[in-house]
A and B are shown apart, each in its own frame.
Chain A
Amino acid sequence: MDETTLLKAFEARVAAGEKIEPRDWMPERYRRQLVRMMSQHAHSEIVGMLPEGNWITRAPNLRRKMALLAKVQDEAGHGLYIYSATETLGVDRNDLIQELLDGKAKYSNIFNYPTLTWADIGVIGWFVDGAAIVNQTMLAKASYGPYARAMIRICKEENFHKKQGYEICVTLAKGTPAQRQMLQDAVNRWWWPTLMMFGPHDTESANSDELLRWKVKQKTNDELRQHFVNITVPQVHALGLTLPDPDLRYDEETGNWITGEIDWDEFWRVVRGHGPCNRERLRARRAAHEEGTWVREAARAYAAKQQRKTRPSNGVEVA
């Protein structure tokens, strides 16, 4: 079959809501778009461990400390899961990670913002995981089977994380004046970066049309952002908090909360590597990778020795 016929059959399958699986024919553009999106997604899980990991040793009680540690551990697991799903597209995890370390691959902008107080940990769970869930619930219907299945699994845990984050915020909101102030400050700092997580306006989004046509995405950036705003604004008000947006208003006609304009200069600056923590995040990932080199070499050397001895390995393979 020639390319045109294959493409036609592919698009018909996608239109019919069928899942595309690793061995199926797919357009090279589709494959590359997925590798780009999925590896960015995996990188985001990994880099996303850092801002929250920043508070593990300072969590205010044992229950919160364990919950946070478990959450960050889940994120490492999500990263592994999405890297595996990406590898079904014929790429190697190590190459993807190298691109991240070289600053060639992107990850979610949100993780380039610092966690300054404990309230940030609550607000990240509530806002950032909340936004991720809106996005991932859509991706759970993506046309590529391995990605959709990864999202279904991950969404379950993310929902739990969001609940934990929200619970931290509720506790702070009901707490002392200092705690309420801490929470309001975190809301002020995380609100706009969270809205930026959904990406540029539909009119500015270079990849959107293709991704929508191939049902990798089901909804546009602006649609998802609006949905997130609509569900989150009432939650913010319910906790007696305000949002740092003087233009925020409720539109009776559409039932939407209308926000002011996002600072797109800031958005693009952070995308291009010039946000508050871009350098530190990459530096931390590179340091972990470089300091771990001798460990990975040791594991490989040991595995090779064991193989030469032609006896069954008595260790879990990690190399």
Chain B
Amino acid sequence: MTLDALDTATKTALFEYLLRLGDDALILGHRLSEWCGHGPYLEEDIALANIALDCLGHANALLGLAGEVEGAGQSADDLAFFRDAIEFRNVQLVELPRGDFAFTIARQFLFSAYAHLLYEGLRESTFEPLAGIAAKAYKEVSYHLRHSSEWMLRLGDGTDESHRRTQQALNDLWMYTGELFEADDVLHALVEAGIAPDVPAARSRWKDMVTTVLEAATLQLPPEPPYMASGGRTGFHTEHLGHLLAEMQFLPRAYPDATW
């Protein structure tokens, strides 16, 4: 299926969906890029920058496609740099400050396990441009999942301190994982059309993947929290996103008539 074959309602839903995917990748890539030059090893500086680059590449492709689907002439850059926090559609998980290395790795692990399921399914999307992006992204998120899983093992089963920090990070992050598996009308419509995979239905697979690694890492699956964060998909964010965007968007906002 190509763009021309989509009806207006599907296009509207697809635009929204692509913003979600693109914003997740953009904001996570931004957070990872903050590590550049500050990692615990040179090798890890390179690895985190590498993952950040992959994420920004996904964001560029997905937001570019979102602009095409919307058909209003917005480029990936327009969407990245000229929307405000309430218009961003990323999950709150990815906008949380990078924290210590355990927090960054635990977040990356939880997100990569989700992204692995997502892109695995998206490769089969009936919307060809999206299936194409997913085929490439799937290879990259597989690497991200391996990298973060290996670090979960080292940190969880390393020293008492690394174990404590990583368990703490997991516990702090858990309430932000619910959003990854939320379903709404946008998703239902696209699942129906064979454009998006039913990731919410795969939540137990995600939990199994996560549990297997956590067990090997001698870590505990956090208890279900009394409050699950929600709202990122409709523009309800944490207070961190506004600061992130202020930094990220400063130049194009300050010089709106300039090209770079």
A residues whose Cβ falls under 8 Å from a Cβ of B: 46, 49-50, 53, 56-66, 69-70, 72-73, 76-77, 79-80, 83, 118, 168, 171-172, 175-176, 178-179, 284, 287-288, 291-303, 305, 314-316, 318
Is there an interface contact between A79 and B153, defined as CB atoms closer than 8 Å? no
Q: Contact check: which of B44, B46, B250 meets A58 at CB < 8 Å?
A: B250
Convert B7-36 into 0s and 1s, putting 1 for each residue whose CB lies closer than 8 angstroms to a CB of A. Answer: 000000000000000000000001001101
Looking at chain B's contact residues, the main secondary structure is helix
Tell me the dominant secondary structure on chain A's binding face.
helix
Closest beta carbon of chain B to A126's beta carbon, Å: 15
Q: Is the CB of B158 within 8 A of A299?
A: yes
Cβ-neighbour of A291 out of B34, B40, B255, B257 (below 8 A):
B40
Min Cβ gap A40→B in Å is 16
- Contact string against A for B residues 162-200, beta-carbon threshold 8 Å, 1 for contact and 0 otherwise: 100100000000000000000000000000000000000
Other A-B contacts than A292-B44, A298-B158, 4 sampled, CB-CB below 8 A, are: A66-B53, A73-B49, A178-B258, A298-B159
**B38 near A69 (CB under 8 angstroms)?**
no
Residues of A near B49 (CB, < 8 A) are 69-70, 72-73, 76
B258 contacts across to A, CB distance below 8 A? 60, 175-176, 178-179
Nearest CB in chain A: distance from B62 CB, A:
11
Q: Are A60 and B252 in contact (CB under 8 A)?
A: yes
Q: Which one of B75-83, B118-126, B132-140, B221-229 is at the interface?
A: B75-83
Q: Is B212 an interface residue (CB 8 A)?
A: no
Is B70 located at the chain interface by the 8 A CB criterion? no
A49 touches B251 (CB 8 A): no
A288 pairs with B37, CB closer than 8 A: yes
B97 interface hit (Cβ, 8 Å): no
Q: Is the CB of B56 within 8 A of A62?
A: yes
Which of B37, B46, B162 lies at the interface centre, i.e. has the most chain A CB atoms within 10 A of its CB? B37
Pairs across A and B, CB under 8 Å, 19 listed: A46-B42, A57-B34, A58-B250, A59-B251, A66-B56, A72-B37, A76-B45, A76-B46, A83-B42, A118-B260, A175-B258, A175-B260, A178-B255, A284-B37, A288-B38, A292-B44, A296-B41, A298-B161, A305-B157
Closest 4 CB pairs of A and B: A292-B40, A298-B158, A298-B162, A295-B40
Give the distance to chain A from B106, nearest Cβ to Cβ, in Å.
13
List residues of chain A with CB within 8 A of the CB of B34: 56-57
* Residue of chain A at shortest CB distance from B163: A298
**Highest count of chain A CB atoms <10 Å: which of B49, B52, B77, B250:** B49
Please measure, in the bound complex, the distance between the C-alpha atom of A173 and the C-alpha atom of B16, giving whole angstroms: 37
Contacts A73-B53, A292-B40 known; A66 to B150 CB distance under 8 Å? Answer: no
Q: A60-B252, A295-B40 are in contact. Are A66 and B154 (CB under 8 A)?
A: no
List of B residues within 8 angstroms of A299 by Cβ? 154, 158
Chain A residues whose C-beta falls within 8 Å of the C-beta of B154 in the assembled complex: 298-299, 302-303, 315, 318
